[in-house]
């Protein structure tokens, strides 16, 4: 709180109102320029946090009078919401922005904007400034809520706008959201990260951890459920440390418990968990609460203790296994565990990498997200000697992915004949009459059924495990 009793770290109502006024001003500028609804194209890279930010961006744009298109060459506004986690994601952004040069030359009234994690790095913003002069607006991760004001300036001034403050962004409540899906919703519960894993750029581009007030999160969850959402995924870089900055403290387990108690038939998911902050209490809460999906996404990154130390992860292989075993003990077969792994961290030897393989063998993950280490400027790991060649790391990577393919295939076979309560989320791919449904553990089952089942929970029995999906049928009641 500040001296006048206002909450610090939260965007004031006055400022939100100010942005509403800018939103109306943009609306009238747009109706002065265009006879029909101008279209915006929002291109999103990276993680679910970015997807959630893009939903806010679309919510604000919709209020300003934009419609939406996936086709860049019919858009009057193109926004690239970028990711900085690996070099590959950055290269794609520069490539895709570069391809708009001619379009912008032929359509000078089109506004091109870049935002997101990558822009929050000085070198990337500088490169846009110097090499992509047709980009009109660049804004960082801390000022997304100020889009109406920034867009107003971009539309009315003949000047490029770069708005990239470094300070941790205050939390903005009450921003309109336009969700991509009407049954699954992303619900950010916190922003930023305090962990500084030595390879990771996130703490530099998204600032320190800030939790949303529990009441705000619960109210948003309640209104999502009331409007028919069936799956709510709570988002944060490290959800297990949710609430440590709130007064009074609220633990993540407590937040889950309170959302679980809301009335309605829905499912709660959450990501990402960090093994150093994941507690037995959280696992017990998962096991006890009927509406929490029995799915734990718990990245371990490496199975070797020396590498974990170099990565600044603050847990050991043994502690990781202890958590997984406890979760398996409480949730048995209904538990699904997924993880992230980095292959070829600087200085990692093949012997050390074998510890990652053996951990994968031991846990039997439902799915893995595997990445070859990518040096990120400004992080400690980028300064470490990295003698192993890219080809060699590629071989390790393939060894890991083929091991996981073998494990996934064995896992899939185990599901034959089993029944799952599934959420039917859309049309399937196996044939015209097929629908696709998701189990608690995030497995996909396709089955033949009428389209009016979309958006409902159904009990489905697996009849045939395929490579990546399961085939099933609805159970007779
Ligand atoms: N190189 C490769 N992978 C990375 N990740 C984060 N930073 C890097 C990097 N520099 C991976 C981690 C993280 C996931 C979101 O991305 O596995 O959990
Ligand atoms: Fe990056 Fe580590 Fe924070 Fe995850 S916990 S965002 S890997 S620094």
List pLDDT tens digits, range 306-365.
999 999 999 999 999 999 999 999 999 889 999 999 999 999 999 999 999 999 999 999
Ligand 1 midpoint to CA 303 (Å): 15
Q: What angle, rounded to 10 degrees, do the helices at 13-33 and 48-64 form?
A: 60
Ligand 2 midpoint to CA 195 (Å): 6
* Closest atom, ligand 2, to C-alpha of 85: 1
Q: What is the per-residue DSSP string for 110-131?
A: -EEEEEEGGGGSHHHHHHHHHH
The residue to mutate among 46, 201, 207, 274, having the most atoms of ligand 2 within 8 angstroms of its beta carbon, is 274
Average pLDDT estimate for 147-175: 92
Ligand 1 midpoint to CA 380 (Å): 14
Ligand 1 midpoint to CA 168 (Å): 22
Higher pLDDT, 2 or 207: 207
Q: What is the pLDDT of residue 181?
A: 87
pLDDT in tens, 360-419: 999 999 999 999 999 999 999 999 999 999 999 999 999 999 999 999 999 999 999 999
What gap in Å lies between CA 104 and CA 112, rounded to an integer? 8
Which stretch of 5-19, 293-307, 408-422 has the lowest confidence by average pLDDT?
Answer: 5-19
Ligand 2 midpoint to CA 311 (Å): 10
Residue 477 has pLDDT above 90, yes or no: no
* Torsion 43-45-47-49 (CA) sign: negative
Q: What is the mean pLDDT of the chain?
A: 94
What gap in Å lies between CA 118 and CA 85, rounded to an integer? 8
Please report which confidence band the pLDDT of residue 473 belongs to, taking 50, 70 and 90 as the band edges: very high
**Atom 2 of ligand 2, residue of closest alpha carbon:** 197
Q: Which residues line ligand 1 (CB under 6 A)?
A: 85-86, 199-200, 299, 301, 340, 342, 371, 373-374, 376
Ligand 1 midpoint to CA 17 (Å): 38
Q: Which of 120, 267, 96 is nearest to 193 (CA)?
A: 120
pTM score: 0.94
Q: Which helix (H) or strand (E) holds 19?
A: helix 13-33
The residue to mutate among 200, 271, 341, having the most atoms of ligand 2 within 8 angstroms of its beta carbon, is 200
Please report which confidence band the pLDDT of residue 1 belongs to, taking 50, 70 and 90 as the band edges: low
* Closest atom, ligand 2, to C-alpha of 340: 7
Ligand 1 midpoint to CA 311 (Å): 11
Q: Which ligand is nearest to the CA of 208?
A: 2
* Closest atom, ligand 1, to C-alpha of 372: 2
Share of the chain above pLDDT 90, in %: 91
What gap in Å lies between CA 323 and CA 302, rounded to an integer? 15
**Atom 7 of ligand 1, residue of closest alpha carbon:** 200
Residues 6 or more apart in contact with residue 418 via CB below 8 angstroms: 333, 461, 462
pLDDT in tens, 39-97: 999 999 999 999 999 999 999 999 999 999 999 999 999 999 999 999 999 999 999 99
Q: Which helix (H) or strand (E) holds 463?
A: strand 457-465
Q: Which residues line ligand 2 (CB under 6 A)?
A: 193, 195-197, 200, 202-203, 237-238, 274
**Atom 5 of ligand 2, residue of closest alpha carbon:** 195
Q: What is the pLDDT of residue 437?
A: 96
Average pLDDT estimate for 137-164: 95
Ligand 2 midpoint to CA 186 (Å): 19
Helix, strand, coil shares of the chain, percent, nearest 5, are 40, 20, 40
* Closest atom, ligand 2, to C-alpha of 272: 4
Q: What is the pLDDT of residue 9?
A: 82
What gap in Å lies between CA 119 and CA 124, rounded to an integer? 6
Ligand 1 midpoint to CA 126 (Å): 24
Residue 7 has pLDDT above 70, yes or no: no
The residue to mutate among 342, 346, 379, having the most atoms of ligand 1 within 8 angstroms of its beta carbon, is 342
Ligand 1 midpoint to CA 460 (Å): 35
Q: What is the pLDDT of residue 468?
A: 81
Ligand 1 midpoint to CA 86 (Å): 7
The residue to mutate among 200, 320, 339, 377, having the most atoms of ligand 1 within 8 angstroms of its beta carbon, is 200
Please report which confidence band the pLDDT of residue 6 belongs to, taking 50, 70 and 90 as the band edges: very low
Q: What is the per-residue DSSP string for 61-86?
A: HHHHT-EE-S-GGG-SEEEEEE--SS
Q: What is the pLDDT of residue 8?
A: 61
Average pLDDT estimate for 220-246: 96
**Contact between 217 and 189 (Cβ < 8 Å):** yes
Ligand 1 midpoint to CA 340 (Å): 8
The residue to mutate among 85, 202, 372, 396, having the most atoms of ligand 1 within 8 angstroms of its beta carbon, is 85
**Atom 9 of ligand 1, residue of closest alpha carbon:** 374
């Amino acid at each position: 709180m500040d001296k006048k009793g206002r909450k610090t770290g939260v965007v004031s109502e006055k400022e939100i109102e100010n942005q509403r006024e800018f939103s109306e001003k943009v609306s009238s500028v747009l109706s002065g320029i265009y006879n029909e609804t101008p279209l915006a194209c929002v291109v999103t890279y990276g993680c679910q946090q970015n997807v959630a930010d893009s939903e806010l961006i679309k919510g604000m744009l919709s209020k300003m009078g934009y419609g939406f298109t996936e086709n860049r060459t019919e858009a009057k506004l193109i926004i690239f919401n970028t990711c900085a986690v690996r070099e590959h994601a950055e290269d794609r952004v520069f490539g895709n922005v570069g391809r708009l040069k001619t379009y912008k030359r032929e359509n000078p009234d089109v506004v091109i904007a870049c935002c997101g994690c990558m822009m929050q790095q000085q070198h990337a913003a500088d490169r846009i400034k110097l090499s992509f002069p047709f980009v009109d607006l660049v804004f960082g991760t801390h000022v997304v809520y100020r889009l109406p004001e920034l867009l107003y300036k971009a539309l009315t001034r003949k000047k490029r706008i770069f708005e990239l403050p470094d300070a941790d962004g205050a939390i903005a409540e009450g921003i309109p959201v336009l969700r991509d899906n009407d049954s699954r919703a992303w619900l950010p519960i916190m922003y930023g990260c305090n962990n500084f894993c030595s390879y990771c750029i996130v703490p530099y581009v998204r600032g320190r951890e800030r939790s949303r007030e529990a009441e705000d999160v619960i109210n948003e969850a309640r209104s999502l459920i009331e409007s028919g959402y069936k799956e709510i995924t709570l988002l944060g870089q490290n959800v297990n440390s949710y609430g440590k900055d709130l007064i009074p403290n609220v633990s993540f387990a407590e937040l889950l418990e309170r959302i679980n108690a809301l009335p309605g038939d829905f499912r709660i998911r959450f990501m990402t968990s960090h093994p150093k902050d994941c507690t037995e209490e959280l696992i017990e809460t998962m096991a006890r609460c009927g509406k929490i999906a029995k799915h734990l996404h718990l990245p371990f990154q490496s199975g070797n203790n020396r590498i974990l130390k170099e990565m600044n992860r603050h847990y050991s292989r043994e502690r990781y296994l202890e958590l997984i075993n406890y979760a398996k003990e409480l949730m048995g077969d209904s538990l699904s565990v997924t993880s992230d792994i980095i292959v070829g961290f600087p200085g990692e030897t093949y012997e050390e990498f074998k510890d990652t393989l053996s951990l994968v063998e031991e846990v039997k993950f439902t799915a893995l997200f595997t990445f070859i280490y990518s040096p990120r400027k400004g992080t400690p790991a980028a300064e470490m000697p990295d003698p192993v060649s890219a080809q060699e790391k590629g071989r390790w990577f393939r060894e890991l992915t083929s091991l996981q393919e073998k494990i996934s295939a064995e896992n899939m076979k185990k599901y034959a004949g089993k029944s799952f309560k599934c959420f039917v989320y859309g049309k399937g791919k196996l044939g015209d009459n097929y629908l696709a449904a998701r189990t608690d553990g995030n497995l996909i089952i396709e089955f033949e059924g009428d389209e009016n089942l979309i958006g409902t929970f159904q009990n489905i029995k697996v009849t045939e495990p395929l490579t990546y999906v399961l085939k099933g049928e609805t159970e007779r009641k």
